[in-house]
């Protein structure tokens, strides 16, 4: 790959990471994940 392709790939990866971070740190997603973990721990025994 050329330098421009590496730069574009890096920018795309950073943008994807930023979107993923925003989704995972939202309160709705955090509440759903917390509820899933709590349910899994309670059903374990």
Looking at residue 1, what is its pLDDT?
59
Distance CA 11, CA 42 (A): 42
Does residue 36 sit in helix, strand or coil?
A: helix
Q: Tokens 């059903």 correspond to what residue?
A: 43
- 2 backbone φψ class: left, alpha, beta (φ>0; ψ -120 to 50): beta
Q: What is the pLDDT of residue 45?
A: 58
What tens digit of pLDDT does each residue of 1-45 get?
A: 589 999 999 999 999 999 999 988 899 988 998 999 999 999 875
């Amino acid at each position: 790959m050329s330098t421009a392709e590496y730069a574009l790939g890096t920018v795309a990866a950073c943008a994807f990471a930023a979107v993923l971070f925003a989704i995972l740190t939202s309160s709705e997603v955090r509440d759903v994940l917390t509820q899933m973990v709590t349910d899994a721990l309670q059903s374990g025994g």
